[in-house]
């Protein structure tokens, strides 16, 4: 019989070994389940990503790996970090190995939870320690792998692999949306930088700065509102650009600058007005105004002969400005006449008024140039937003076009086949060879197609495309419709003939698919690069979809 201390020591050691084995068994069970949980999250993300733009394939794999690792780590921590008391270990051992509560009794006797005579206590503890040698631990507590869990893991991996291999139609939309979002963020930063430049522009007055900042502030508020579509962002930038263009046009003084360069000629012959003439030749409105003020201050010190000469030159310059700026021309003419009459004071007042007008024009021109520059920057930003995310669309369009080209090549070798709108065969309406069939009386058929009732698309006929002819050397003729035709077109009769066109050149026949592809691509590019009112793009896309060649 073991002593009491040795018996308790033996019991504690064996309970610790069993507890460690129990943790290993639980780890083999719960760590794979943690992995399975992470994989199922990845499968769920992949499934949702096929119905709505959510994550790309690489992002789904990354998220799956993260959730899988977190699941395994959480399971391992729960298994190995959790602490059990000696009583809990003893109860588990009694239940697992069928020891009929011998170990828990020994533990409670030691902890004085049960009172018993010393002889009976020693006998009970010794018996519990001796029975430990008869327990077959590997058989009673085996370390096994749950095949059902691992089967689910393999299934989850297979589903995840299939989701990654099969093309996801939502991924291109997601990349495009993210590219648009990034482009919008960049435009917000660009607009903020433009605003700072405007505020630091010393050539602009506070009122002019406010005029420039107002459309930018409105566009910035729209872009920062969040959940903005590409069309809405383009509309916000286009509206701001239009306002800036209008502001540029209202304050444009380029015509005055051109007139000044011509008006400076008469003033270049005098040393007194030479610098003024140079400023005019450089179209510098502000410097010209400053030179006028300086001339006004010099007039009293000039000789009468010099005053008469400058007066004649100012009168000649005024004639050059009469058609462009009558007010400025009037002031210069008044100054010239006054000098020729010897009225220096009146000439000074007129020159001061002319200088004030030029200085005001200079501020307007500064505003116009700033508005034009800002509009150009917004145009560049608008192009970036329009082109954002188009790489995937272009690749898809190119693949589709390649498929259509393959179909076209196969159809070009086929002649004499029956079908709607086929070339090379005289149709039911008695059309000439090589002429595609039209619908009844040459009108479009259903679904917007020409050539009958080709559901789901336009006719697959060959389309007559005349050779290109350069008409740039000919002047156009402006034609104005009568008022009754504008109000009631039906009263003007047929403007275009509906009779079939006699096509005699077989070289000008081009397969419909090729014509459709080129025109559709051009239209879609225009949709992205040019401003189209909100809600109208879908109609344009639907129109070209209705014209798409049928199978």
Burial of residue 13 (number of CB atoms within 10 Å: 0-12, 13-18, 19+): exposed
The reported pLDDT for the residue numbered 271 is 85
Determine contact, residues 292/354, Cβ cutoff 8 Å.
yes
Domain closes at, from 123, 142, 165 = 165
Domain finish residue from 369, 394, 419: 394
Over residues 77-135, the pLDDT tens digits come to 999 998 999 999 999 999 999 988 989 998 888 887 888 787 888 888 888 888 888 89
Q: What share of the chain in percent tops pLDDT 90?
A: 42
What's the total number of domains in the chain?
A: 3
Judge whether 494 lies within some domain: no
pLDDT tens-digit map of 289-327: 999 999 999 999 988 899 899 999 999 999 988 888 899
pLDDT at 541: 65
Same domain assignment for residues 10 and 139: yes
Whether residues 237 and 325 share a domain: the answer is yes
Q: pLDDT tens across 179-211, in order?
A: 888 889 999 999 999 999 999 998 899 999 999
The reported pTM is 0.55
Residues 389 and 452 in one domain: no
Position 412 in a domain? no
Examine the domain organization and report whether 93 and 188 are in the same domain.
no
CB-based contacts of 440: which residues, under 8 Å, 6+ apart? none
CB 487 within 8 A of CB 442: no
Q: Which long-range contacts (CB under 8 A, 24 or more apart) does 146-154 make?
A: 146/28, 146/29, 146/32, 149/29, 149/32, 149/33, 149/36, 150/32, 152/36, 153/32, 153/35, 153/36, 153/39
Residue 79 lies in a domain: yes
Predicted local confidence at residue 193, as pLDDT = 94
Whether 229 has a pLDDT exceeding 90, the answer reads no
Same domain, 238 and 265: yes
State whether 123 and 246 are in the same domain: no
Strand runs (DSSP E) across 388-547, as ranges? 462-464, 509-511
**181 vs 229: CA distance, rounded Å:** 8
Residue 485 lies inside a defined structural domain of this protein: no
- Does any domain span residue 28? yes
Say if residue 402's pLDDT is above 70: no
Residue-wise pLDDT tens digits, 251-278: 998 888 888 888 888 888 888 889 999 9
Lowest mean pLDDT among 214-218, 490-494, 520-524: 490-494
Let me know whether 227 and 356 are in one domain: yes
The reply to whether 137 falls in a domain is yes
Note the pLDDT tens digit of each residue in 422-477.
333 333 333 443 333 333 333 334 333 333 334 444 444 455 555 555 666 666 65
Same domain, 147 and 258: no
Q: What is the pLDDT of residue 459?
A: 44
pLDDT of residue 13: 92
Based on DSSP, count helices (H) and strands (E) in the chain, helices before strands.
Answer: 20, 2
Which has the higher per-residue pLDDT, 417 or 48?
Answer: 48
Q: Examine residue 484 and state whether it is found in any structural domain, yes or no.
A: no
Joined together, the tokens standing for residue 18 give 């069993």
In angstroms, the CA 59 to CA 50 distance is: 14
pLDDT given for residue 294 in this prediction: 92
Of 336, 287, 347, the closest CA to residue 311 belongs to: 336
Answer yes or no: do 152 and 194 share one domain.
no
Nearby residues of 92 by Cβ (< 8 Å), 6 or more positions away: 18, 19, 22, 84
Q: Is the pLDDT of residue 406 over 90?
A: no
Where is the domain boundary, 119, 134, 165?
165
- Identify whether 287 is part of a domain: yes
Confidence of residue 231 (pLDDT cuts 50, 70, 90): confident
In the predicted model, what is the mean pLDDT of the chain? 79
**For the CA atoms of 10, 13, 18, 21, what is the dihedral angle to 10 degrees?**
-150
Q: Which of 150-154, 202-206, 488-492, 499-503 has the lowest mean pLDDT?
A: 499-503
Residue with tokens 């990503």: 49
Is a pLDDT exceeding 80 seen at residue 155? yes
Average of per-residue pLDDT across 4-18? 89
Closest Cα partner for 349 from 361, 363, 338? 338
Considering the domain architecture, whether residues 148 and 183 belong to the same structural domain is answered as: no
Q: How far apart are CA 459 and CA 461, in angstroms?
A: 5
User: Mean pLDDT across the stretch 158-171?
Assistant: 92
Structural domain including 536 reads: 439-467+501-551
Are residues 237 and 357 located together in one domain of the fold? yes
Neighbours of 386 (CB within 10 A): 23
Q: Which of 187-191, 368-372, 388-392 shows the lowest per-residue confidence on average (mean pLDDT)?
A: 388-392
Shared domain check, 198 and 150: no
């Amino acid at each position: 019989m073991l002593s009491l201390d040795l018996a308790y020591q033996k019991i504690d050691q064996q309970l610790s070994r069993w507890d460690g084995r129990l943790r290993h068994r639980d780890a083999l069970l719960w760590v794979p389940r943690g992995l399975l949980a992470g994989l199922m999250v990845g499968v769920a993300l992949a499934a949702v990503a096929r119905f709505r733009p959510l994550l790309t394939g690489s992002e789904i794999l990354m998220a799956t790996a993260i959730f899988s690792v977190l699941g395994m780590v959480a399971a391992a921590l729960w298994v190995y970090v959790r602490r059990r008391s000696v009583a809990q270990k003893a109860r588990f051992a009694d239940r697992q190995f069928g020891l009929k509560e011998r170990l828990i009794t020994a533990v409670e006797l030691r902890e004085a939870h049960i009172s018993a005579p010393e002889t009976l206590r020693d006998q009970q503890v010794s018996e519990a320690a001796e029975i430990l040698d008869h327990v077959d631990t590997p058989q009673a507590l085996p370390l096994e792998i749950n095949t059902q869990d691992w089967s689910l893991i393999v299934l989850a991996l297979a589903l995840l692999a299939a989701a990654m291999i099969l093309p996801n139609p939502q991924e291109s939309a997601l990349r495009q949306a993210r590219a648009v979002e990034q482009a919008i963020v960049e435009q917000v930063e660009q607009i903020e930088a433009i605003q700072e430049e405007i505020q630091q522009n010393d050539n602009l007055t506070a009122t002019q700065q406010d005029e420039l900042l107002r459309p930018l502030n409105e566009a910035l508020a729209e872009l920062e509102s969040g959940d903005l579509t590409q069309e809405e962002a383009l509309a916000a930038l286009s509206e701001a650009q239009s306002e800036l263009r209008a502001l540029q046009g209202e304050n444009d003084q380029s015509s005055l600058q051109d007139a000044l360069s011509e008006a400076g000629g008469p003033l270049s012959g005098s040393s007194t007005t030479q610098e003024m003439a140079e400023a005019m030749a450089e179209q510098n409105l502000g410097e010209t105004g400053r030179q006028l003020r300086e001339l006004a201050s010099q007039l009293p010190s000039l000789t009468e002969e010099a005053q008469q000469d400058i007066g004649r030159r100012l009168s000649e310059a005024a004639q050059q400005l009469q058609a462009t700026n009558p007010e400025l021309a009037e002031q210069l003419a008044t100054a010239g006449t006054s000098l020729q009459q010897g009225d220096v004071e009146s000439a000074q007042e007129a020159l001061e008024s002319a200088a004030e007008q030029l200085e005001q024009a200079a501020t307007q021109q500064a505003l116009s140039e700033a508005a034009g520059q800002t509009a150009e920057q917004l145009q560049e930003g608008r192009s970036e937003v329009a082109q954002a995310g188009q790489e995937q669309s272009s690749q898809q369009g190119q693949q589709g076009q390649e498929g259509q080209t393959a179909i076209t090549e196969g159809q070009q070798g086929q002649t004499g086949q029956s079908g709607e709108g086929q070339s090379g065969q005289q149709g039911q309406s008695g059309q000439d060879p090589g002429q595609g069939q039209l619908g009844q009386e040459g009108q479009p058929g259903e679904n917007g197609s020409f050539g009958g009732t080709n559901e789901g698309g336009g006719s697959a006929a060959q389309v007559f495309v005349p050779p290109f002819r350069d008409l740039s050397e000919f002047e156009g003729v402006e034609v104005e419709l009568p008022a009754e035709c504008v109000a009631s077109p039906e009263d003007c009769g047929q403007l275009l003939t509906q009779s079939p066109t006699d096509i005699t050149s077989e070289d000008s026949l081009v397969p419909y698919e090729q014509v459709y592809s080129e025109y559709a691509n051009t239209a879609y590019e225009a949709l992205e690069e040019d401003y189209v009112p909100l809600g109208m793009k879908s109609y344009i896309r639907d129109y070209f979809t209705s014209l798409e060649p049928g199978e």
